[in-house]
């Protein structure tokens, strides 16, 4: 581990410059709080990541759409002058679903998100939406585990509900494909309680699946990352890139957030960890976090998602009366959309390889995956689709600082056993990230609101304590337990008045007592503060 090359003082340190971390930092800075953001990557935005084709066309490799009710992300974007345009949603959409009668796929063309052109299939899907929405309305967004039927719903998967409640084969296939498209996870991986919470947090299933009146309504002209880029620009030098956080040490006075790669430590009064829980669990905490919080982070897997784009000279499918939208279980690409820029030039199709398909096709070489994707698109939209001028793919599981997407979600049993540990601050550490959102959980909107919520928690604490900080440290029992550091192993940092301070570990709710011999000083190898 590298020696500490510098300790910077701040009021708050934010870990992660995704939309959540940036929203937290923006609100804190607006409140006059001295905030520093440490970001692992050499860019901001996290799961909002935009690249450009040679002709300048923005391609969103991660989050891209916003829709009605997503006021947080919409307001941030508007305040920064990041403009949007409506997604293309004209013409026929294709459902190609394997059924016992049509093992190669039953093709249904329809003009709304739900394939109502086949009355039996459409009615079965709509009935299930209605039933699920009725159940979801009883799930409290702040505390899903307190729903009257929480235990029953958390003991089963979304798949078991679909199998028991959707009898029409093509409708059942549609639900499975949509589940993978919405969660990037198979319905057997998601608890029914989570599916109900998630849909309610978005305002219902129609909000999740619809295009022009749902979550797929609008896109950003310059790509979704532009929102994060402009937020970061406003924060200026408060945002530090290439600084993956490895270790967080806290006591009852301060929190020290340390990045080995950059050799930088930030000493602050509070930290906001704005990462997906699975990644937050990879940070080393001293004192160690309580078992419940850690076990939560072990149980919230990221979805499996490979997002592909094919670029064509024109959106040729439009002239054939097709919307560019397909839903299929006949190949790796489960869902597609027209992702052309507003001008319609070039034509761009986006495809989502989700859940089992993402895992299966990640094992193949890129060329084989490309061939399978193009074969799917040709089946959906015609032979021209097999000859794009550009092919772009992004596997989110391969990203060291994301490890999957769209988000972390709850398998059975997790909400009811660990839900309380999702947002509860531990000592001086507060948690943000879209996974902690109550509204539009999993979406960019939820990321922004989670950051705002974490900032508000800290501002409330500041109002109570920071401006007249509590002096003194923990008392005798803490020291007797052996987690007061000896002078030789204490962590020096420059206090606000330039004086060296020493950490005394404290017992706080949710924190484990550090075991005797748990050698924090060795782990961090700090140099004397005078060299900082
Ligand atoms: C393929 C895909 C498509 C999606 N489509 C949509 C969509 O159309 N609409 C929508 O609203 N949402 C969509 N989402 C979800 C949306 O992108 C996310 O909900 C949102 O961007 C999450 O923001 P966040 O700040 O919570 O987390 P992140 O964006 O993951 O931010 C976390 C940040 O922390 C950094 N980091 C990680 N580890 C460390 C560390 N140890 N130290 C310091 N920094 C660290 C990361 O690099 C990252 O910048 C999509 C996601 C994916 C992957």
Give SS3 for 89.
coil
Contact between residue 484 and residue 504 where contact means Cβ atoms under 8 Å apart:
yes
Q: Which residue has the higher pLDDT, 491 or 190?
A: 190
Quote the ligand 1 centre to 402 CA distance (angstroms). 7
pLDDT of residue 262: 85
With 50 as the cut, is the pLDDT of residue 514 above it?
no
Q: Give the burial string for 229-239 (b: 16+ CB within 10 Å, else e).
A: bbbbeebeebb
Q: Give the burial string for 338-370 (b: 16+ CB within 10 Å, else e).
A: bbbbeeeebbbbbbbbbbbbbeebeeeeeeebb
CB of 220 closer than 6 angstroms to any ligand 1 atom: no
pLDDT band at residue 1 under the 50/70/90 scheme: low
pLDDT of residue 464: 63
Quote the ligand 1 centre to 46 CA distance (angstroms). 4
Distances (CA, A) of 261 to 21, 243, 258, 264, 502: 20, 6, 9, 8, 24
With 70 as the cut, is the pLDDT of residue 150 above it?
yes
With 80 as the cut, is the pLDDT of residue 273 above it?
yes
CB of 38 closer than 6 angstroms to any ligand 1 atom: yes
Neighbours of 381 (CB within 10 A): 24
Q: What percent of the chain has pLDDT over 70?
A: 86
Distances (CA, A) of 35 to 24, 95, 428, 442: 9, 49, 14, 25
pLDDT of residue 175: 97
Report, as an integer, the average pLDDT of 214-230: 98
Quote the ligand 1 centre to 226 CA distance (angstroms). 14
Q: Which residue has the higher pLDDT, 397 or 519?
A: 397
| Range scoring the smallest mean pLDDT among 122-136, 169-183, 227-241, 490-504 | 490-504
The model's pLDDT over 288-302, given as tens digits with 9 standing for 90+, comes to 999 999 999 999 999
CB of 404 closer than 6 angstroms to any ligand 1 atom: no
pLDDT band at residue 9 under the 50/70/90 scheme: very high
With 60 as the cut, is the pLDDT of residue 504 above it?
no
pLDDT of residue 132: 98
Quote the ligand 1 centre to 227 CA distance (angstroms). 13
CB of 307 closer than 6 angstroms to any ligand 1 atom: yes
Pocket test for ligand 1, best of 444, 449, 452 (most atoms within 8 A of CB): 444
With 60 as the cut, is the pLDDT of residue 198 above it?
yes
pLDDT of residue 3: 60
pLDDT of residue 183: 98
Report, as an integer, the average pLDDT of 31-54: 96
Distances (CA, A) of 404 to 46, 301, 445: 11, 8, 19
For the chain, the residue count is 532
Distances (CA, A) of 416 to 144, 155, 496: 8, 9, 42
Quote the ligand 1 centre to 218 CA distance (angstroms). 19
φ and ψ at 430, to 5 degrees?
Answer: -110, 155
Angle among Cα 164, 165, 166 to the nearest 5 degrees reads: 110
Give SS3 for 117.
coil
Quote the ligand 1 centre to 302 CA distance (angstroms). 11
Report, as an integer, the average pLDDT of 17-33: 97
Which atom in ligand 1 lies closest to the alpha carbon of residue 432? 26
With 70 as the cut, is the pLDDT of residue 32 above it?
yes
Quote the ligand 1 centre to 17 CA distance (angstroms). 9
With 90 as the cut, is the pLDDT of residue 6 above it?
no
pLDDT band at residue 532 under the 50/70/90 scheme: very low
CB-based contacts of 203, cutoff 8 Å, min separation 6: 69
Quote the ligand 1 centre to 443 CA distance (angstroms). 9
Q: What percent of the chain has pLDDT over 90?
A: 82
The model's pLDDT over 304-359, given as tens digits with 9 standing for 90+, comes to 999 999 999 999 999 999 999 999 999 999 999 999 999 999 999 999 999 999 99
CB of 305 closer than 6 angstroms to any ligand 1 atom: yes
pLDDT of residue 117: 87
Neighbours of 512 (CB within 10 A): 18
Closest CA to 280 of 522, 12, 2, 21: 21
CB of 503 closer than 6 angstroms to any ligand 1 atom: no
pLDDT of residue 2: 60
Q: Which residue has the higher pLDDT, 494 or 188?
A: 188
Beta bridge partners of 391: 310
With 90 as the cut, is the pLDDT of residue 412 above it?
yes
CB-based contacts of 45, cutoff 8 Å, min separation 6: 17, 18, 19, 62, 224, 225, 227, 228, 229
φ and ψ at 142, to 5 degrees?
Answer: -75, -25
Contact between residue 191 and residue 156 where contact means Cβ atoms under 8 Å apart:
yes
The model's pLDDT over 471-499, given as tens digits with 9 standing for 90+, comes to 323 222 222 222 222 222 233 332 222 22
pLDDT of residue 465: 55
CB of 244 closer than 6 angstroms to any ligand 1 atom: yes
CB of 48 closer than 6 angstroms to any ligand 1 atom: yes
CB of 15 closer than 6 angstroms to any ligand 1 atom: yes
Q: Mean pLDDT in the chain?
A: 88
Pocket test for ligand 1, best of 242, 304, 406, 435 (most atoms within 8 A of CB): 406
Place of tokens 């200026």: 236
Which atom in ligand 1 lies closest to the alpha carbon of residue 20? 25
Beta bridge partners of 13: 36, 271
pLDDT of residue 506: 32
Report, as an integer, the average pLDDT of 244-258: 95
Report, as an integer, the average pLDDT of 66-92: 98
Report, as an integer, the average pLDDT of 186-196: 98
Report, as an integer, the average pLDDT of 86-92: 97
Q: What is the pTM assigned to this prediction?
A: 0.89
For atom 48 of ligand 1, the residue with the nearest CA is 46
Report, as an integer, the average pLDDT of 179-189: 98
Give SS3 for 437.
coil
For atom 31 of ligand 1, the residue with the nearest CA is 18
Rounded Cα–Cα distance for residues 401 and 398 (Å)? 9
Rounded Cα–Cα distance for residues 14 and 487 (Å)? 29
Report, as an integer, the average pLDDT of 270-280: 98
pLDDT band at residue 112 under the 50/70/90 scheme: confident
Report, as an integer, the average pLDDT of 424-444: 98
């Amino acid at each position: 581990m590298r020696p500490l090359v510098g300790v910077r003082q701040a009021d708050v340190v934010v870990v992660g410059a995704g939309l959540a971390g940036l929203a937290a930092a923006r609100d804190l800075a607006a409140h006059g709080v001295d905030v520093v953001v440490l970001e692992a990557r050499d860019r901001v935005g996290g799961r909002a990541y935009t690249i450009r084709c040679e002709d300048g066309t923005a391609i969103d490799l991660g989050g891209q759409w916003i829709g009605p009710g997503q006021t947080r992300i919409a307001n941030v974007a508007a305040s920064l002058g990041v403009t949007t345009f409506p997604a293309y949603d004209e013409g026929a959409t294709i459902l190609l679903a394997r059924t016992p009668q049509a093992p190669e796929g039953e093709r249904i063309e329809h003009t709304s998100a739900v394939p109502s052109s086949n009355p039996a299939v459409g009615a079965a899907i709509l009935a299930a939406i209605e039933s699920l929405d009725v159940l979801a309305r009883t799930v409290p967004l702040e505390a899903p585990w307190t729903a009257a039927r929480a235990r029953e719903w958390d003991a089963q998967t979304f798949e078991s509900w679909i199998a028991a409640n959707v009898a029409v084969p093509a409708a059942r296939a549609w639900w499975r494909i949509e589940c993978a498209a919405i969660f990037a996870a198979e319905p057997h991986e998601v608890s029914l309680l989570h599916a109900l919470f998630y849909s309610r947090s978005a305002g219902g299933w129609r909000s999740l699946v619809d295009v022009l009146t749902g979550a797929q309504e609008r896109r950003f002209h310059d790509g979704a990352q532009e929102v994060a880029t402009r937020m970061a620009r406003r924060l200026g030098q408060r945002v530090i890139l290439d600084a993956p956080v490895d270790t967080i040490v806290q006591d009852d006075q301060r929190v020290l957030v340390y990045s080995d790669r950059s050799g930088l430590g930030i000493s602050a009064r509070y930290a906001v960890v704005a990462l997906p829980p699975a990644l937050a669990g990879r940070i080393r905490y001293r004192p160690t976090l309580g078992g419940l919080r850690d076990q939560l982070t072990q149980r919230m897997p990221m979805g499996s998602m490979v997002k592909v784009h094919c670029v064509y000279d024109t959106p040729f499918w439009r002239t054939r009366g097709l919307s560019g939208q397909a839903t299929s279980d006949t190949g790796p690409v489960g869902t597609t959309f027209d992702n052309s820029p507003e001008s319609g030039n070039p034509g761009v199709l986006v495809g989502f390889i989700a859940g089992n398909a993402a895992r299966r096709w990640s094992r193949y070489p890129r060329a084989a995956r490309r061939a399978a994707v193009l074969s799917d698109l040709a089946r959906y939209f015609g032979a021209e689709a097999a000859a794009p001028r550009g092919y772009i793919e992004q596997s989110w599981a391969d990203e060291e600082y994301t490890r999957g997407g769209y988000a972390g979600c709850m398998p059975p049993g997790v909400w009811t056993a660990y839900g309380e540990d999702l947002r509860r601050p531990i000592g001086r550490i507060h948690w943000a990230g879209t996974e902690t959102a109550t509204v539009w959980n999993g979406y960019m909107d939820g990321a922004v609101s989670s950051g705002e919520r974490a900032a508000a928690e800290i501002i409330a604490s500041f109002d109570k304590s920071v401006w007249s900080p509590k002096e003194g440290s923990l008392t005798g029992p803490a020291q007797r337990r052996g987690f007061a550091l000896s002078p030789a192993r204490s962590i020096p940092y420059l206090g606000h008045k330039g004086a060296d301070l020493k950490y005394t570990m404290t017992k706080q709710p949710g924190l484990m007592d550090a075991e005797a011999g748990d050698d924090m000083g060795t782990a961090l190898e700090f140099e004397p503060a005078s060299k900082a």
